[in-house]
């Protein structure tokens, strides 16, 4: 696969600056919000396209083993080799890769402050738009979905949550939090607030903070990524404390 257009110098610098861990088997990046993981439209390069920057002399390049929504920032993993891709793909299918996200939600901390959301989801298509809906478990299109959350900080109109999805359904965290009345800020599709503390929310306030997984060469790795400035700015405006991990 080749990128839609050759990466520019700026794109090359961007994707190289995103690298937070690499070895001969894997490459981990802190994806910025606004960059599609795969399948970007309009001739724009996605992160998958930009991985061509890391191609070896034989032309082989890393490939993503999972994805993040375009407006979600944070840790994303690529495999450098086919054996590594197969190894990690099996772990993802078996739900053996643990993911942890940070989310800023409104109007405050959920009740209870920590818990589990287990609600089946189904895919709904309207033209070119696709979204997910909570549905009965016996619906013919139902997909089981489970997310665990805990409140890290709360303010007068928002809360900072740590969320760990056990399943990996499309938009799962976004829909689950909206389902319990705590939509993610900056998420108009699922009812998220667009202003917090008098500050406009620039995008979906969801950040993939960490991945914990078995490494293809043995042992376990935990890779973390700090939230970006826009996320920290909204948290500050909402009087939420982001502690060191």
- Does residue 36 sit in the same domain as residue 103? no
Cβ proximity of 208 and 99 under 8 Å: yes
- Does residue 146 sit in the same domain as residue 59? no
* Separation in Å, CA 227 to CA 34, 105, 156, 175, 203: 14, 15, 22, 21, 13
CA-to-CA distance for 72 and 33, rounded, in angstroms?
5
Fill in the DSSP letter of residue 9: H
pLDDT of residue 5: 75
Q: Which two tokens stand for residue 30?
A: 């802190």
* CATH number of 35's domain: 3.30.2350.10
pLDDT of residue 177: 98
Q: Establish if 243 belongs to a structural domain.
A: no
| Whole-model pTM over 0.75 | yes
Handedness of CA 125, 131, 132, 135 (dihedral sign): negative
Fill in the DSSP letter of residue 189: G
- Does residue 64 sit in the same domain as residue 127? no
Give the pLDDT means over successive 10-residue stretches in the chain (245 positions). 74 96 97 90 86 90 94 97 96 94 97 97 88 95 96 96 95 98 97 94 97 96 96 96 72
> Is 187 a catalytic site residue?
no
- Does residue 114 sit in the same domain as residue 226? yes
Q: Establish if 54 belongs to a structural domain.
A: yes
Q: Which domain holds residue 109?
A: 96-238
- Does residue 70 sit in the same domain as residue 166? no
pLDDT of residue 245: 54
- Does residue 117 sit in the same domain as residue 234? yes
Percent helix / strand / coil, the chain, rounded to 5: 20, 35, 45
Q: Establish if 220 belongs to a structural domain.
A: yes
pLDDT of residue 4: 65
User: Nearest CA to 172 among 124, 133, 213, 202?
Assistant: 133
- Within a 10 A sphere around the Cβ of 105, how many other Cβ atoms? 29
Q: Establish if 171 belongs to a structural domain.
A: yes
Given the residues 9, 23, 49, 69, the one annotated as active site: 69
In the numeric block, the tokens 């060191």 are attached to 244
Q: Establish if 48 belongs to a structural domain.
A: yes
Handedness of CA 89, 174, 182, 29 (dihedral sign): positive
Q: Which two tokens stand for residue 60?
A: 């082989």
Q: Establish if 181 belongs to a structural domain.
A: yes
In the numeric block, the tokens 């078995």 are attached to 214
The total of structural domains in the chain comes to 2
Q: Establish if 149 belongs to a structural domain.
A: yes
């Amino acid at each position: 696969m080749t990128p839609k257009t050759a990466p520019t110098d700026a794109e090359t610098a961007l994707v190289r600056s995103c690298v937070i861990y690499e070895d001969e088997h894997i490459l981990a990046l802190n994806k910025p919000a606004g960059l599609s993981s795969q399948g970007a439209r309009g001739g724009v390069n996605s992160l998958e396209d930009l991985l061509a920057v890391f191609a070896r002399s034989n032309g082989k390049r890393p490939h993503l083993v999972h994805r993040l929504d375009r407006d979600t920032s944070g840790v994303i993993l690529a495999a450098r080799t086919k054996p590594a891709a197969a190894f990690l793909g099996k772990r993802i299918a078996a739900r053996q890769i643990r993911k942890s996200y940070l989310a800023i939600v409104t109007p405050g901390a959920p009740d209870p402050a920590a818990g589990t959301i287990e609600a089946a989801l189904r895919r709904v298509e309207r033209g070119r738009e696709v979204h997910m809906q909570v549905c009965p478990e016996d619906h013919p299109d139902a997909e089981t979905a489970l997310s665990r959350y805990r409140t890290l900080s709360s303010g007068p109109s928002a809360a900072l949550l740590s969320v760990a999805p056990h399943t990996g359904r499309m938009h799962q965290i976004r829909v689950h939090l909206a389902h319990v009345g705590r939509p993610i800020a900056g998420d108009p599709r699922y009812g998220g607030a667009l202003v917090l503390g008098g500050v406009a929310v620039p995008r979906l306030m969801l950040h993939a903070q960490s991945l914990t997984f078995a490494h293809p060469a043995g042992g376990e790795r935990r890779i973390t990524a700090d939230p970006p400035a826009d996320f920290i700015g909204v948290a500050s405006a909402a009087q939420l404390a982001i502690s060191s991990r």
